Amino acid sequence: MEPDYEALGRYYASLETFNELSSKRHRLSGDLCRMLSHSMERNHDVLTLFDHETARMLLEDIIALNAHLIQIAEHLNRHAAECGKPEIRTLYRKG
């Protein structure tokens, strides 16, 4: 049986988008973690200010990327089933 080349093409296009968005979310999450880490520095004679507006914008971007990643993963997984490629697993970690 010949592979479904259309499904295969859609799968790889979705996978490329997924990887790009995942990398961007990873980078933004790292930026937010660094901001939080710097705000937790404890010094008795220095107050490290926290840029809450930038943190809020980063978090909003991360939330939007996350929603888009979920849509792309669902799309990718539909095509994975059609062409015998591996699906993207979804994990949810609290805390």
Residue-level pLDDT, tens digit, the chain, 95 residues? 787 899 999 999 999 999 999 999 999 999 999 999 888 877 788 888 889 999 999 999 999 999 999 999 999 999 998 999 999 998 888 87
Q: How far apart are CA 25 and CA 30, in angstroms?
A: 8
- C-beta separation of 10 from 87 below 8 A: no
Please state, as a whole number, how many other Cβ atoms lie within 10 Å of the Cβ of residue 81.
11
**Token representation of residue 28:** 């933004």
How far is the C-alpha of 74 from the C-alpha of 88, rounded, in Å? 8
**pLDDT value, residue 26:** 97
Q: What is the pLDDT of residue 15?
A: 97
Packing angle, helices 5-39 and 52-83, rounded to 10: 160
The predicted structure's pLDDT at residue 35: 92
Per the structure block, which two tokens stand in for 7?
């499904």
